[in-house]
């Protein structure tokens, strides 16, 4: 059984928690930036399906990472990712994202394209979606995968994320990188609108597009492993094409 351990990176005094699984040496790892109400520990067992070293990040205000009083703009989240990469990744890696983690992962990718081998995006447009402030109370009172959202995400962090969101759009920049790409969309309640989907198809004509018709926005339901298996295929194809 491969070991998964908890680690911490420092981003200018903000402690960023992430988990890291073991994997074969010599293969680029997968770095997974999950969703707004995810915790890295949600994925301790399923990341083993990728068959290589995987790092899963708790961005600031989530999971076991610090929740500073300020600093929730795109640049701050990208810096969180960069702190983990600097500490644990020496070369290139494959980027995997889910939900809100997508915009932050893509923000990192456009700043550091030389580090990225492939991208696998889970149920989110390639932009920083603006969240209406009036949704705060209902959102924080909800549950995600059976746990109260308030146990997963700091309310302060959520309010700051809403306030500091600027609506960055990364699709054209990502398209210009010509990376092997996978885009998955859920069958219902998806943040990807029909317009977003059409934009993906237009800008990433060589990407693999899959729709999980039986999944809600949580694309790990009803099958926890399906997205991981597709990511593994995208990773293998990217490395084969580069060989």
Contact 89, 55 (CB under 8 A): yes
Question: Where in the chain are the domains?
Answer: 4-238
C-alpha–C-alpha distance, residues 19 and 152, integer Å: 16
Is residue 23 over pLDDT 80?
yes
Listed residue (71, 78, 83) closest to 108, CA to CA: 78
CA angle 162, 75, 56 (to 5 degrees): 85
Residue the block writes with tokens 């070369």: 91
Average pLDDT, stretch 221-228? Answer: 98
**135, pLDDT greater than 90:** no
Mean pLDDT of the chain: 97
- The model scores a pTM over 0.95: yes
Helix (H, G, I), strand (E, B) or coil at 165: coil
> Residue 2 has what pLDDT?
72
Q: Is the pLDDT score of 222 beyond 90?
A: yes
Higher pLDDT residue, 126 or 3?
A: 126
Percent of the chain at pLDDT > 90 equals: 97
Q: What is the pLDDT of residues 87-133, one digit of tens each?
A: 999 999 999 999 999 999 999 999 999 999 999 999 999 999 999 99
User: How many other C-beta atoms are found inside a 10 Å radius of the C-beta of residue 63?
Assistant: 25
Supply the pLDDT for residue 1: 59
CATH number of 4-238: 3.40.50.1820
pLDDT tens figures, 181-217: 999 999 999 999 999 999 999 999 999 999 999 999 9
């Amino acid at each position: 059984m491969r070991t998964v351990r908890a680690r911490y990176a420092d981003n200018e005094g903000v402690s960023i928690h992430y988990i890291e699984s073991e994997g074969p040496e010599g293969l680029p790892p997968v770095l997974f930036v999950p969703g707004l109400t995810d915790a890295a520990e949600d994925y301790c067992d399923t990341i083993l399906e990728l068959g290589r070293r995987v790092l899963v990040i708790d961005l600031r205000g989530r999971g076991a990472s610090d929740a500073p009083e300020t600093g929730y703009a795109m640049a701050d989240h990208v810096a969180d990712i960069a702190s983990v990469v600097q500490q644990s990744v020496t070369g290139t890696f494959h980027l995997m994202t889910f939900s809100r983690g997508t915009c932050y992962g893509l923000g990192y990718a456009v700043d550091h394209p030389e580090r990225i081998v492939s991208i696998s995006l889970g149920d989110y447009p390639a932009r920083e979606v603006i969240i209406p402030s009036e949704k705060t109370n209902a959102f924080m009172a909800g549950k995600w995968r059976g746990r109260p959202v308030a146990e997963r995400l700091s309310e302060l962090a959520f309010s700051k994320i809403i306030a500091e969101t600027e609506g960055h759009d990364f699709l054209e920049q990502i398209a210009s990188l010509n990376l092997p790409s996978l885009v998955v969309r859920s069958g219902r309640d998806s943040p990807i609108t029909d317009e977003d989907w059409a934009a993906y198809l237009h800008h990433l004509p060589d990407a693999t597009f899959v729709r999980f018709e039986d999944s809600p926005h949580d694309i790990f339901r009803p099958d926890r492993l399906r997205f991981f298996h597709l990511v593994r295929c995208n990773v293998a194809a990217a490395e084969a094409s580069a060989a």
